[in-house]
Amino acid sequence: MIGIICAIPDEIAYFKDLHIQKQSQIAKFTFFEGEIANKKVIIVESGMGKVNATIITTLLIQKFNCNFIIFSGVAGGLDPSLKVKDIVIAQNIIQYDYGLIRNKEFETYQAGYLPFYMPTDEIGYKLKDSLLNKIKICLNNIEINYGTILTGDQFIHCPEKRKELFEKYKAQAVEMEGAAVAQVAESFNVDWLIIRALSDLAGEDSSFDFINFLKETASLAAKIVCKIIEK
Ligand code: ADE
C-alpha cells in the first residue's frame, strides 16, 4: 500500500477528486483509501508541521501497512534560479531547525541525536539511489529539480532568512513536514519520497504568492505523484 500525505486541504483536494472507495478516522485524521492506476493508495491530510507529519507517517506504516510514503504539497523556493510553479523532489531533506546554540550561533545537527557530535557524515535524509533513478526515468519528459529541501516548524516570509538558508545549505526549497516523514519512514525501513511545487519564494511576497498560487501548485505536485504511481 502506498501512503500519500498532504498537509492542508488545498494539497489534498486533487486526490479527493480521484475515486475513493473507503474512508476511516483515527483521532482527528481522516484516511481515504482508493486506487491510482490500479494500485492501492491511502491519502490523508496531516495538518502542518513536523509533529503532525510524524503522527501520520507512523499511522500509515503501523495501522495501514504502507510500504512507501509520499508527501505531496507546496514549498517556498530558496534557490534564486527557481520560480513559482517549479517542481522540487528531495534528493536530500534536512530538519534545519534541529541543533545546538553555541556562542549565540545556531549549528544544525542530525535530528534525534545529542547535538555535541555528528553521528552522520552529512546532515539529512537521502533519497535512495535506486528510487531516484526510477523516478528520473519515469519523469524524464518533465522539468524537475532534484535537490535539497529544508524542513522546519516555521513559514519563511523573510528575504534575509531566505538568503541565509540558501547560502548555508545550498537548498532549493523550504517546507514544514518532509524531513519528519523521511525520519519516521527510515526508522521503519520504509521508502519515502517528497514532492513539492513552489507556491512562493519565501521572501516578502511569500504570503501573497502562497495564497494566490496554492491551489494551482498543489495540484502540480499531486499530478506528478499520480504519474509516478501510474508508471
Ligand atoms: N510552504 C510553502 N511556502 C513555504 C514557506 N515560505 N515557508 C515554509 N513552508 C512553506
Q: Tell me the pLDDT tens digit for each residue of 12-66.
A: 999 988 888 899 999 999 999 999 999 999 999 999 999 999 999 999 999 999 9
Task: Record the pTM.
Answer: 0.97
Residue type present at position 67:
N
- Segment 121-164, tens digit of pLDDT: 789 999 999 999 999 999 999 999 999 999 999 999 999 999 99
User: Rounded to the nearest whole angstrom, what is the distance from the C-alpha of residue 156 to the centroid of ligand 1?
Assistant: 6
Atom 1 in ligand 1: which residue has the minimum CA distance? 75
Average pLDDT over residues 195-206: 96
175 alpha carbon to ligand 1 midpoint, in Å? Answer: 5
Cell numbers that stand for 30 in this block: 481522516
The pLDDT-based confidence of 98 (bands split at 50, 70, 90) is very high
In the chain, DSSP assigns E strands to 2-6, 20-26, 29-36, 39-45, 68-77, 87-95, 99-102, 105-108, 125-126, 145-151, 173-175, 191-200
Is the CB of residue 131 less than 8 Å from the CB of residue 228? no
Residues with catalytic function:
11, 200
Instruction: Indicate which CATH number applies to the domain containing 158.
Output: 3.40.50.1580
> What single-letter DSSP state applies at residue 79?
S
Range of the domain at 19: 2-230
**Ligand 1 pocket test target in 87, 195, 199 with most atoms within 8 Å of CB:** 199
Point out the least confidently predicted range of 89-93, 111-115, 178-182: 111-115
Distance 38 CA to ligand 1 centre (A): 33
Domain count, the chain: 1
